[in-house]
Chain A
Amino acid sequence: MWRDGVLVAGKDLRIELRSRVVLNQVAPFSVVVLVLFALALGPSRAPIAQAAPGLFWVTLLFATVLAVQRSVAVESTEARDGLRLSGLDPAGIFLGKTAAVAVELAALEVLLGAGVLLFYGVHVRSVATLVAAAVFGTLGLAASGTLYGALAGGLRVRETLLPFLLLPVVAPVLLAGTRAWQAALGQGSTGTDPWMALLVVFAAVYLALGVVLFGPLQEAA
């Protein structure tokens, strides 16, 4: 399972390195969203800085939808059949695709985080909390996104269906990520522990669900 996962993740990341769709399209799109939020809430800095953690996570959710769309689009009908015939463990395929999406999202977050610091004028109090929340949040988003991507994969309406299915389900990640970031940026008085726990639980639950359910889903596609 782990070896298959590494193989699939390597394949997806190699495709991304050569086509650069996430880098050249999704990343600029995320920056555009950050600028649009600033236009909607600005020009004074206080409301933007106040909303910065939430805006980061909402932007990340949008980027997740796009990254998952790309991850599904990479597997054309023939490629999907090829994957099924390859004898790779479905759980491994799931983990591999999740890892590839997570790596792409992580790269995106570095860019987004720099954008938030630069444009929104916030001050970081705890880098460790910031990074930890981002890591676990990303794992949860990538796992649930890959699962829903496989669910909507073979359908002609997947571009419109995927955000509708995925976004309500990842609402807890948005809530928890935002609260953890607020604490890390010194806003609000809440502790981070329950939110971190929630992010970890979400990631673990969806990774486990994907390992169990990816096989049956592939039969349906």
Chain B
Amino acid sequence: MTVAPWSRRTTLVVRAVGIAALVSVVATLWLGIWVTPPDQVQHDLVRLVYVHPPIAWVALYLAFGTAALASILWLWRRTRSPMWDRLAASAVEVGAVFTALTLVTGSIWGRPTWGVWWAWDARLTSTALLLVMLLGYLALRRVPGDPDARARRCAVAAIIAAVDVPIVHFSVVWWRTLHQGATVLNANLSPTIHGSMAWTLLLGFVAFTLTFVWMLAQRMRIETLSQQLEGAELDEALQERWAEGAPAAASAPARAGAAEAAP
């Protein structure tokens, strides 16, 4: 029975990515909290800018893009491999965590800035709808059944949900902008940021991208192992049943056929 889903080299690479992610996240926090100056208008609130956009980038582009691409690769016969199914499922799961974090960090920033935890702003609304779609995919994924049928179902679900994302985005943007003037967003964020703030933000993007890659790799490993475990458990159960039947068959060779048929 094989337990290691990764070669030695893959293990090393993933470990290196993990360490790099940890170091860069710590460095982002250090730069973001102690080194960079507070903003003129937003004061210390501006420090959330080093965390929130990178998380949103991972959630809305990296995770969703990976899931959609992997689903297409699974559905296309020439590139079909169980790996794509595992990749898509892992990307959606990690992506759901990052999408939820995007909403939470945005909410924390919105409360002191806008005065409310939640506004029916275009971005907030479309991100919330996206989170519900990701949760729907995960719910579909949890339905027990044949792995191949499940992979096919989930791949199709990912594609039809991914196609909806731009439509949802435009509809919600129009919903807001046609309804009233420009939103409060970006009134004081859009002026160019520079110096240590820009570098810290850039580092934040690198840090959370690395974190995403590392989490994705770990999640895929868990998925592979759990699939192996399922197979191994079935094999073990079969072996036990055969072992139960064997002595009976040996002691009464005349009734061997009956012993095999009996439970």
Could you tell me which A residues sit within 8 Å of B by CB distance? 144, 147-148, 151-152, 154-157, 161, 164-165, 168-169, 171-172, 175-176, 179, 190-191, 194-195, 198, 201-202, 205-206, 209, 213, 216-217, 219-221
A164-B139, A169-B164 known; A175-B152 Cβ under 8 A: no
Are B178 and A157 in contact, CB atoms less than 8 angstroms apart? Answer: no
Are B175 and A169 in contact, CB atoms less than 8 angstroms apart? Answer: no
The stretch of B14-22, B165-173, B226-234 that contacts the partner chain? B165-173
Q: Is B140 an interface residue (CB 8 A)?
A: yes
Are B163 and A198 in contact, CB atoms less than 8 angstroms apart? Answer: no
Are B160 and A209 in contact, CB atoms less than 8 angstroms apart? Answer: yes
Are B153 and A168 in contact, CB atoms less than 8 angstroms apart? Answer: no
Q: Is B225 an interface residue (CB 8 A)?
A: no
Contacts of A169 in B (CB 8 A): 133, 160-161, 164
Interface size for B (C-beta < 8 A) is 30
Are A155 and B163 in contact, CB atoms less than 8 angstroms apart? Answer: no
Could you list 12 A-B pairs, sorted by A, with CB under 8 Å?
A144-B160, A151-B140, A161-B136, A161-B140, A168-B132, A171-B168, A175-B174, A190-B179, A195-B174, A205-B163, A217-B152, A220-B152
The SS class assigned to the B binding surface is helix
Q: Is B157 an interface residue (CB 8 A)?
A: yes
Contacts of B145 in A (CB 8 A): 155
How far is it, in angstroms, between the C-alpha of A198 and the C-alpha of B80 when the chains are bound? Answer: 34
Which of B139, B160, B175, B178 is most buried by chain A, counting CB atoms within 10 A of its CB?
A: B160
Contacts of B157 in A (CB 8 A): 151, 165
Are A165 and B129 in contact, CB atoms less than 8 angstroms apart? Answer: no
Are A171 and B159 in contact, CB atoms less than 8 angstroms apart? Answer: no
The SS class assigned to the A binding surface is helix
Tell me which of A147, A155, A190, A221 contacts B160 (CB under 8 A). Answer: A147
Considering the complex, give the chain B residue whose CB is closest to the CB of A212. Answer: B159
Tell me which of B132, B133, B152, B171 contacts A172 (CB under 8 A). Answer: B171
How far is it, in angstroms, between the C-alpha of A147 and the C-alpha of B153 when the chains are bound? Answer: 11
B190 to chain A, nearest CB (A): 25
Q: Is B149 an interface residue (CB 8 A)?
A: yes
Are B167 and A172 in contact, CB atoms less than 8 angstroms apart? Answer: yes
Tell me which of A156, A175, A190 contacts B171 (CB under 8 A). Answer: A175
Considering the complex, give the chain B residue whose CB is closest to the CB of A165. Answer: B136
How far is it, in angstroms, between the C-alpha of A201 and the C-alpha of B140 when the chains are bound? Answer: 26
Are A194 and B156 in contact, CB atoms less than 8 angstroms apart? Answer: no
Are A217 and B156 in contact, CB atoms less than 8 angstroms apart? Answer: yes
How far is it, in angstroms, between the C-alpha of A185 and the C-alpha of B249 when the chains are bound? Answer: 82
Considering the complex, give the chain A residue whose CB is closest to the CB of B125. Answer: A171
Are B163 and A161 in contact, CB atoms less than 8 angstroms apart? Answer: no
Q: Is B29 an interface residue (CB 8 A)?
A: no
Which of B143, B164, B168, B171 is most buried by chain A, counting CB atoms within 10 A of its CB?
A: B171
Are A202 and B140 in contact, CB atoms less than 8 angstroms apart? Answer: no
Considering the complex, give the chain B residue whose CB is closest to the CB of A195. Answer: B174
